[in-house]
Every structure is written in C-alpha cells, then in structure tokens.
Structure 1
Amino acid sequence: MAAIEHPLHELARFLPAGSFDYVVKYLYQYKVHLTVAKSRKSVLGDYRHAHQGNNHRISVNGNLNVYEFLITLLHELAHLLTFEQYQNRVEPHGKEWKGIYSKLLIDFVGFGVFPTEIITALQKSIISPAATANGETELLMVLRKYNAVKKEGVCFIADLPEGALFRLSNGKVFKKGELRRKRYTCFELKTGMMYTISAITEVKQLEVINQ
C-alpha cells in the first residue's frame, strides 16, 4: 500500500482547526504509528493493535476532507482504546467499541471543531455508531459537502429521482430503482441485470443515452 509517513506537525493540515492538540495527545499517550494513506476504495481507515514490540498502527486515507479525516481517525482510535481495555475479549464493533467511539465523538463535538451541520448529522452516530462508513450514509453525505474538489457533473445516487439513468465510474449505465435499506436496486441497461448500489455512490446522471 502506497502511503506517506507524516511528522506530527504535518498532521495539522489533515485536521479541522482546533483539533490537532487533542488528537496528538492520544497519539503520544498510546505511541500510535499513524500513516496517511493514498485513497483506498474499500476502507477509509484501518487499525492494527500493538504486538511483538510494535506500536499500535492506524492508517487514514489522505484524500478525505478534514472533518471526514478526523471522524475516521476517531473511529480507529476507538478500536485502539477498546483493545487497551479489553484486548481481544470483545467483538470489534460490539457495545464496548460503540460506547468508546460515542464518547470520543461527544468529546470532539464539545471541543467545537465541527460545523453545526455536521454536529446534527453526528447525533445518530453518537447514539448508535455503525461498524462501517457505508452504515453512516446520512453523515457521509453531509461530510462530503466539505470536499475541497468538486467533481463536475457528479452527484450521489441518493440525489437522483427514481427511474433516472446514470453512469458509474466503470462506464456501466444503470436505471435507478427503489431504496432497500441503505442501497438502491438498479438495472444495468446493457444486460438487464439487477444490482444493489450504495446510496453514497458517486454517479453521473445521463439525460440522453445513445443506444
């Protein structure tokens, strides 16, 4: 995995204003080896616990905006704190992890580092944190409004009306169907096959299809 090892002072540019000192306190206290990774489609962050003399290791994707970066880092720090307290005796995203992650979110909301819109979206996560980013659909849609680079002509599939035609990044063209939990049933025009696609998938809406 391509990644960059950042001195701690460089970490500040990945974080919201006012959060650096609070984050660094945890990194120093638990001797965390933090890696800012290049974009990974499958995960936003990752945690590996300390073992055989190695430090705790956390990686977070460096292409995230500062608010999404911090929340992802807190998600992984919650795994670290859970391991410190319970070792491997509890489920990775069980009630112990949820309680610790909720406490971290409450603390950082209290530090005043998030805009009001994000604080509102975080309330559901504070009450019942999801195990993965895809489980935080509403939160991610708010967070990604703060991306510095806006992709022209691209939107979330959730923002399209039912029946709209759209193209994925792989070039395949679909018709949007109904919502089932946090994913939409969509039909690929070329094959007629049905797929379920995450509500936060970025797509390009198509007005006219050349058959």
Structure 2
Amino acid sequence: MSITNLEKYLPENTLPFLKTWFGEHYIHIKITKARNSKLGDYRKMPDKSHQITINSTLQPQLFFFVLTHELAHLLAFENFGNRISPHGSEWKNTFRTMLLESISIYSEDLKPIILKFSKAPKANFMSSPDLVKYFHIENYEDETSYIEDLETEDRFIYRKQTYIIEGKRKKNYICLNIDNGKRYIFKPLARVEKLS
C-alpha cells in the first residue's frame, strides 16, 4: 500500500512526516479488521522488507500514533541493529523523537497527553490511562504480550502457571515457574499474560 492510500485513515498534514520516516524502506502496510489483542504490529520480513499492520477502526489521530509506534520499531532496528530489545531504550528514544517531531499533527487537547507520554513511552497503549480515556478504548483488552516485550523479573502467566523472567540465554528467556520451582526456556515470541 502506498503512503497516499493511507490518507483516508490519517489526520491532515501527516504525509511529509511519513515520507521522511519511510525513506527508502520497502514497507507493506496492511489495514486489518478490529483486533482485540492489538492495535498494530511490526515485523521484519525474510526478504528484508517490513510489514506493519494497523486496525482499520482507529480514529485518525490514534491511527497515526499507532503507525508512529510501529515505524519506530523499524527505524530503531535499522539504526541500532537487530539485537536491541523491541521496546528498549533505543525504541523509546526513537518513538519519543518521532512524537515530538510530529506533535503539530495532534489536536490542542491531545498535545499535552502526547507530550506527557513521550517523556517515558510505553510499549503497550493500555499502559497510558490518559490516552485510553482520550480515545475511549474501554473495550480494548490486551491480555497477552510477547515474552520479548517483558523485562527481567517481570511475572507472567502461561498455561495457568505463574513464572518470573530470570534472564536471557542467546535469544531465549529463562523463566522460573513459581508453582513448581523449575526453570523453563521460552522463545521470544511466546504469548503470555503479564502480571502487573
């Protein structure tokens, strides 16, 4: 999908930002039906292109915000390499810079919320009560996360068992099962329910 085909989903005056961020990258943008598990998604494809999916039901400002979040993954990986954490400091700094660059896109009542969020960008949209309230996303429930999006010592539930992340071995995660005291290895894209 070309950038201009995205216009109907976006607020006005976003194309100059997107053209700069897209640069020479080959990006497949897929507009999906509403998903209860996520608003958007980024993947690097085997052929070195990039795929971003975004829910079609999002309001224009939220659509742009989610697209910015996903593009920040692409730019962080391209600038800092594939070994960085998906929502680590490199991604946070990239996302922060992009939000501040494009702050003019957002309405006056949303700008303070975006500025506050940009000070410490969160991986999960639902972690920002101000944004959730602004966009009235009460029905959105993100019950699962990829284990690679969690931090060391985070607790999570997998198949009704509680675990804590102890560390990383190469690409996989070593996790202690709180219920039986045994250690297990989890792949980065294992879907788990994070405990707060």
TM-score bracket, normalised by the shorter chain, equals 0.5 to 0.7
Deviation at 1:139, TM superposition (A): 1.3
- The aligned residue for residue 159 of structure 2 is none
Match of 1:91 among 82, 85, 92: 85
Percent identity between the two aligned chains: 29
| 2:50 is the counterpart of 1:56 | yes
Instruction: Give a deviation string over 1:104-147, Cα, whole Å, max 9, x none.
Output: 000000xx211111111112211000111111221121134xxx
Structure 2 unpaired stretches of 5+: 140-196
Q: Does 1:140 align with 2:132?
A: yes
Deviations 1:24-63 (CA, angstroms, capped at 9, x unpaired): 3333521111111111110000000143x24111111110
Match of 1:118 among 103, 110, 116: 110
Return the alpha-carbon distance in structure 1 between the equivalents of residues 14 and 61 of structure 2.
Answer: 10
Q: How does 1:13-162 map to 2 (within 5 A)?
A: 13-51=8-46, 53-109=47-103, 112-144=104-136, 156=138
Task: Tell me if the contact between 2:132 and 2:138 (Cα under 8 Å) persists in the aligned partners.
Answer: no
**Cα distance between partner residues in 2 of 1:73 and 1:8:** 12
Residue of structure 1 equivalent to 2:4: 9
Query: What are the ranges of 5 or more consecutive residues in structure 1 without an aligned counterpart?
Result: 1-5, 145-154, 158-211
Residues 27 and 51 in structure 2, CA contact (< 8 A), matched pair in contact too = yes
TM-score normalised by length of structure 1: 0.61
Q: Distance in 1 between matches of 2:21 and 2:96?
A: 16
Q: Assess if the C-alpha contact under 8 Å between 1:33 and 1:57 holds in 2.
A: yes
Q: How far does residue 64 in structure 1 lie from its aligned partner after superposition?
A: 0.1
CA RMSD of aligned residues (A): 1.9
SS in 2 for 1:29: coil
- Aligned structure 1 segments of 4 or more residues deviating by more than 4 angstroms: none
Per-residue CA distance 1:139-197 (angstroms, 9 max, x = gap): 121134xxxxxxxxxx959xxxxxxxxxxxxxxxxxxxxxxxxxxxxxxxxxxxxxxxx
Q: Which amino acid aligns with 1:121?
A: I
Query: Matched residues in 2 for 1:40 and 1:106: separation?
Result: 28
Higher Rg: 1
Q: Is the 8 A contact 1:78 1:97 kept in 2?
A: yes
**Distance change >3 Å, CA 55–CA 11, structure 1 → 2:** same
Partners of 1:8 and 1:124 in 2: CA distance: 28
